[in-house]
Structures are given as C-alpha cells and as structure tokens.
Amino acid sequence: MTSETLAWLAWISLFLAIFSILVTFYFHYKDCPKLIIKSIRPGINGSRTQETEQWQHQVASIEVIVENSGAHPAVGCQGVVTFPYLEALPLYPQTRDHHVDIASSIFTVEANAKIRIIGAWNYCENGSIDGTKESVSLADFNAKGLPATIIVRYGNRKIEKTLTTKEAESIIKNHQANAYLGHPIS
C-alpha cells in the first residue's frame, strides 16, 4: 500500500469513529428522561375573620409541576423545596384523584407526561415556623421563605428552579385580588 492509500484509510477510519461516537451520544441522549420544572406555585389559602371581616391569607404548601419530555420514564425521583430561613420541605406526588401520597416521597414521571408534586408544612413533623403545623403567614413566607429553590433528583441527575420574590408576589397579588373580588381562585 502506498502512503496515499494509508492516509485515505486513516481519514476514513477517523470519520467512522467520529460518526459512531456521535450516533452513540445521540441515542444515549434521546433515550434518557429529560425532566423540566414547568411551574412553581405557593398554595395560598385564606379566610375572613369574624371580628374584622378582613381576609387572612396563608401559604400552606408549594406546588410544583414537573414534565418529562424524554422517551423513557424517570424512575426513583425525589424532590425538596429549600428556603433561606425555613426548614426544607420534601415533595410528595399527587395521585390522579388529587390526593397526596405522603407514604413515600419517591415518584416516577412517565415519558411525555407531567406530574404534580406538593410540599406542605402539615406533611412534615416540624411543622411551620410558628408551630401550627398548618401554614405559614404571608409575612413569614415573604420574609423567611423566598427565594425558594426546588431541587428534583433522578438517577445521577439533578434539576433546580427558583421561585423568586417577584414571581411569588405576583402570584400572591393575583390570589388576593381574586379573593377580594369574589372570583373563583384557580
């Protein structure tokens, strides 16, 4: 063989090696689950006091929607909400009939599906910062709970998203406006 033939064979083998590596990475990336945190919402509830007829709003939970846009399910996922000055809350999956399964914080996100995971102060032993184990007042949530960071682990991967103060204030303002105007809260 001549040196020109060897050079061509070397280029062809290099091309085939690079092509096979690209195909391997493509199929590996294509076949894995791809989780995305689509939304984060504080679960706000409110009631009127008997004496003053003023609305009292509290944050009872954090609701997160996670989507798997991959071709395979993400199995063995776990999530947590961390706060600057409050204890972290584990996230539990919501069932199809809108009940929260607090027996296990491990959940599966099927391929091309969404799941709602919820962390609430009344689900954990320590309860809220004021000891009621039900909810946190809006003032405490704004002062000690924001920005809240959602962390979801699956396999050896981790995704994070932060609920900023500005986003939370917008959600809270919409909730209060709907409550005061008598519109159904969605």
How far apart CA 146 and CA 167 sit, in angstroms, is 10
Residue-wise pLDDT for 88-142, tens only, equals: 899 999 988 888 888 889 999 999 999 999 998 877 665 544 454 678 888 889 9
Is the predicted pLDDT of residue 10 greater than 60, yes or no?
Answer: yes
Give pLDDT, residue 124. 65
Give pLDDT, residue 129. 46
Percent of the chain with pLDDT over 70: 89
**Residue 166: other Cβ atoms inside 10 A:** 9
Tell me the H-state helices in 50-184.
138-144, 165-181
Q: State the CATH class of domain 34-181.
A: mainly beta
Residue matched to tokens 């709602």: 116
Tell me the pTM. 0.78
